[in-house]
Amino acid sequence: MSEGPRILTPRETPLAPGGPAPLFVLPAIRADGSQFDADLDGLLASGPVLLVFYQDDGMPICTSELKAFAQEHALLAEAGVQVLAINTNGLGSHQRFQERDHYPFPLISDFHAEVVKAYGMWDPDEAKSRRGVVIIGQDGRATYALPHFNPGSVATFEEIFRALGLA
């Protein structure tokens, strides 16, 4: 990017609704296995972003978390919502995870946890991302933040869809 590197400041608490979403450019793997740089600022020009934080590629609860959003991807896409999944695993791990499960959205690698920490989604006890969700409006501000997402909770899933105006 021509404006130079961005400095991300770690947060002790999760990003709150109304706050500016930290912008980032990170490597990602698409559903077809191709690699690209996910640029949040550029993506927001096309519509709101549902940023799904998860702990590990291939772990059962994380797989359930991503499959829940994959199952509703057509509805989300039709509403103009872009889904991005992010954790601290490397691109090789993401590549294998995509090959195994074929998520219809990109898996972003935040290998150094800078973005995870800037969103306040770092779990210091586990030394990895929490399972959480942030909805970012086209204005670059968080419209919804859930710091602890339980993929088995239908009520929480419905709450996310209400926050997106889809329920």
CATH (domain of 152): 3.40.30.10
16 part of a folded domain: no
2 part of a folded domain: no
1 part of a folded domain: no
Q: What is the dihedral of CA 106, 111, 115, 119, to 10 degrees?
A: 90
79 part of a folded domain: yes
Within 10 angstroms of residue 62's Cβ, the number of other Cβ atoms is 22
CA distance 53 to 49: 12
pLDDT digits (tens, 9 = 90+) for 92-137: 999 999 999 999 999 999 999 999 999 999 999 999 999 999 999 9
57 part of a folded domain: yes
13 part of a folded domain: no
pTM (2 decimals)?
0.93
Q: Which residue has the tokens 């600022």?
A: 41
11 part of a folded domain: no
Domain count, the chain: 1
CA distance 17 to 121: 14
pLDDT digits (tens, 9 = 90+) for 140-161: 999 999 999 988 889 998 999 9
